[in-house]
Amino acid sequence: MKYKLTPINLTCGVLIGLSIYGAIFSGPFGFGFLGIFYLLPIGLLGLGVDYLGQRTIKKYLNLFLIEFVILGILTFGYIRTERTKTFIIPDQRNFEFVVTIYGVEQADELPVSFLTWKYEKEIPENGIILTSTELNLDLPQTEMFTTSGLDLQNRNDTVDICFGRVSTSRIIIDSKSYDYQAWKIDKGGTIVYSSNDIEKLEEEIKDYLKKKKPSS
C-alpha cells in the first residue's frame, strides 16, 4: 500500500507539530505543555484512523471525500461548542451570583435557535434570569461585561473583577424540577466559593421561585 496525503493525516500532522512546539515553548505558565495531553493523542488517533481508511478504501478520491466530510462535521461540532451568550451586569450591583433558571413556565424564552451563534442579555438587579427555555438549548459559552463596558474576561491587575461558572444543577420545588446555571462574580482574578455557598444559593433560588413565579 502506498501511503498518500489526505485531509486527516495532514490535519493530524499539524496537531502533532503544535503539541511538540507547545511542549518545547510552553510559555511562562507552562500551558503550552498541555498540548501533549490533548493535541498529541488526537493526532495519533487520527493517523490510526487514516491508516485503516487507506487500507480499506482503495479509491483515493472516495477516501479524500470521506475524510473531508468527517473533518467538516468535527469542525462544525467544535464551532457549535463555542457559541457564546453575553451577560451585561449593572455597574453597581448588590449580588455576587448571576443565575439562569430554566424551564420556568410562562417566563420569557431566550433568543436561541439551532442557528443562533450568540446573543446578549441584560441581567436584572437581583442577578436572576427566569426563562422557559430548557438548559440544553442555551448556548454553551458565556461572556460577561458591565454596563459601562468593563470586560470580566480580562483577568489582570488592571481589571480587578472577574467571573466563572460555579454550578450547573437541578432543584426541585413541589415535585417540579428546574435546571439552573450559576456564575460567581469575584475580585482578584480568582473565583472563591464553597459547597456551603452553593447550598445557600440554591435555597435562595427556591425561595425566589416560590415568590416570583410568572403570573398566569
Q: What is the pLDDT of residues 76-85, one digit of tens each?
A: 999 999 999 9
Mean predicted lDDT score pLDDT of the chain:
90
Please indicate whether residue 81 or residue 38 has the higher confidence score (pLDDT). Answer: 81
pLDDT band per the 50, 70, 90 thresholds, residue 50: very high
Calculate mean pLDDT across residues 104-110: 93
Find the angle CA(33)-CA(34)-CA(40) to the nearest 5 degrees.
Answer: 95
Whole-number Å distance between alpha carbons of 91 and 149: 9
Q: What is the pLDDT of residues 152-192, one digit of tens each?
A: 987 655 567 889 999 999 999 988 999 999 999 998 778 89
Q: Which of 24-28, 85-89, 128-132, 201-205 has the lowest mean pLDDT?
A: 24-28
Q: What is the pLDDT of residues 60-78, one digit of tens each?
A: 999 999 999 999 999 999 9
Pairing of strands 128-130, 97-101: parallel
**189: alpha, beta or left, given left = phi > 0 and alpha = psi -120 to 50?**
left
Question: Rounded to whole angstroms, what are the CA distances from 101 to 81, 127, 128, 214?
Answer: 21, 11, 8, 13
Calculate mean pLDDT across residues 198-210: 94
Cα torsion 202, 203, 204, 205 to 10°: value is 50
Query: Which single residue is written with the C-alpha cell 457559541?
Result: 83
What pTM value is reported for the model? 0.80
pLDDT band per the 50, 70, 90 thresholds, residue 216: very low
